[in-house]
Amino acid sequence: MALQFIEISGDHRELGRQYGESARVPIQSFVAFLHEWSGASRSRVTAAVWSFLPLLRHFAPEQVAEIEGLAEGASIPFEDAVLLQLRGEVLPRLPAEGCTSFAVTPGSTRTGGAIIGQTSDMDAAWGRHLLVVHAKPTGAPSYLTWTFAGQLGYHGLNDRGLAHFANNLPVLARHSPPQPGLSHYPFKKRLLGLEHRTDVERLFASYPFCSPGNYMLCTAASEIFDVEAVPGESRQPDYPGRGYLVHTNHYLDTGWAAEAGGPPTYSDTHVRFERMSRLLAESPPLDAQSVRELLADHCPQAAPICRHGEVDRMSTVGALVADPVAGELHVSEGPPCEGRWTVYRLR
What mean pLDDT comes out for the span 123-131?
A: 93
C-alpha span between 282 and 209 (Å, rounded): 36
Instruction: Enter the pTM of the model.
Output: 0.95
Q: Report phi then psi at 295, rounded to 5.
A: -70, -15
What are 138-162's pLDDT values in tens digits? 999 999 999 999 999 999 999 999 9
What mean pLDDT comes out for the span 268-277?
A: 94
- Range(s) of the chain covered by CATH 3.60.60.10: 100-129+160-345
Domain 100-129+160-345: state its class.
Answer: alpha beta
C-alpha span between 161 and 322 (Å, rounded): 10
Mean of all residue pLDDT scores within the chain? 93
Neighbour tally for 206: CB within 10 Å? 9
Length of the chain: 347
C-alpha span between 285 and 298 (Å, rounded): 21
C-alpha span between 34 and 115 (Å, rounded): 33
C-alpha span between 68 and 17 (Å, rounded): 8
What are 106-119's pLDDT values in tens digits? 999 999 999 999 99
What mean pLDDT comes out for the span 47-55?
A: 90
Q: How confident is residue 233, by pLDDT bands cut at 50, 70 and 90?
A: very high
CA distances 150 to 113, 129, 175, 276, 345, Å, are 32, 9, 29, 32, 21
3 state DSSP class of 89: helix
Q: Is 179 exposed, middle or buried (0-12, 13-18, 19+ CB in 10 A)?
A: middle
pLDDT given for residue 288 in this prediction: 97
E strands, the chain, in order: 4-10, 100-104, 115-122, 130-137, 143-148, 155-158, 163-168, 213-218, 224-230, 233-235, 244-247, 315-323, 328-333, 341-345
The answer to whether residue 1 scores a pLDDT higher than 60 is: no
